[in-house]
Structures are given as structure tokens and as C-alpha cells.
Structure 1
Amino acid sequence: MNFGLLLSNLPHVKESRDYYDAMLSLHRCSAHRLTNFWLGVKALIS
């Protein structure tokens, strides 16, 4: 039995998936800014 098919039909799964995708996109953005910051600091020190 494929439980993934059963779970995808529940209404809260779609809402959770949208929230999770939004959080991942925020994480990528903040991680990118942090990387740029450290690269800038490294360039100033070098």
C-alpha cells in the first residue's frame, strides 16, 4: 500500500507543502545574503 497517495489527499498537506516551500525560498535568500556578506568581508581582509 502506498501511504503517500493517501496522505496527499488530506487538505492540510497542501497547505503545509506551500508553507514549507515558502520557508525554503526564504532560507535560500538569507543564506545567499550571508554568503555575499562573508565574501565581502574576505575581500576586505585580503
Structure 2
Amino acid sequence: MEFLLFLLFLVLLAAASTAGLTTDSRDSADWKPSDNGRRWRSRTS
């Protein structure tokens, strides 16, 4: 029974994502620019 509830949750989450009802709560601080995986610092500071 728990598996079915978990599966239902995943299906509802996928449907909400497809419908555009979900948002990415991460801000730009989570996505620093990188060059081949190495972070670079801004030259303005």
C-alpha cells in the first residue's frame, strides 16, 4: 500500500511538472559560472 501511495505521489509530481505548476526555488547563488567544472571569480571585485 505504501508503494502505491509513493507511486501516486511521483505520478502527481510528474503531472504537475509537465503542466508547469512546479518552480525551481534555487537562486543564482546555486549556479556559479564554471569553465570545464572549475569555478571562476568575477574580475570586477
Q: TM-score, normalised by structure 2?
A: 0.44
- Structure number having the greater strand percentage: 2
Larger helix fraction of residues: 1
